[in-house]
Amino acid sequence: MKALVVDDSAVMRKVLIGALARANITDVAQAADGKEAVEAVMNDEFGLVLMDWNMPNMLGIDAVREIRAKGKTVPIIMVTTEAEKTRVIDALKAGANNYIIKPFEPATIVTKIQDVLSKVSGQ
């Protein structure tokens, strides 16, 4: 399975790629903003997207909305510093499958990845 990591921070992308490796996902593409993320999802098949919220060019929440509006059902986990309950609800309403607040423990993200993927494959 191929995953897409979307974050404007190269350091955070590396951290997320490391977390994906712990979940045995090593085929990973990267995007630095929401616009790149939408383009990547439209042009490639991904089994999972890890999406930051606050990025230049297009916010992660807007990218999630656009990906869903274009009919893509790829599982998306928001990985963000946005910790307010209303933000979590907004992301889930927009089409995110789960939500992780930064900073996070690597084990937490692995558990959430496995949870989201098991729900998707169980449908």
Tens digits of residue pLDDT in 22-69? 999 999 999 999 999 999 999 999 999 999 999 999 999 999 999 999
Domains and their CATH numbers in the chain:
2-117 (3.40.50.2300)
Q: How far apart, in whole angstroms, are the C-alpha atoms of residue 8 and residue 123?
A: 32
Under a CB-based contact definition with an 8 Å cutoff, are residues 46 and 30 in contact? no
Phi-psi label, residue 23: left if phi above 0, alpha if psi -120 to 50, beta otherwise: alpha
Residue 106: pLDDT band (50, 70, 90) is: confident
Q: How far apart, in whole angstroms, are the C-alpha atoms of residue 43 and residue 78?
A: 21
Instruction: State the pLDDT at residue 120.
Output: 81
Q: Check whether the bond before 75 is cis (ω within 30° of 0).
A: no
Q: What is the pTM of this model?
A: 0.96
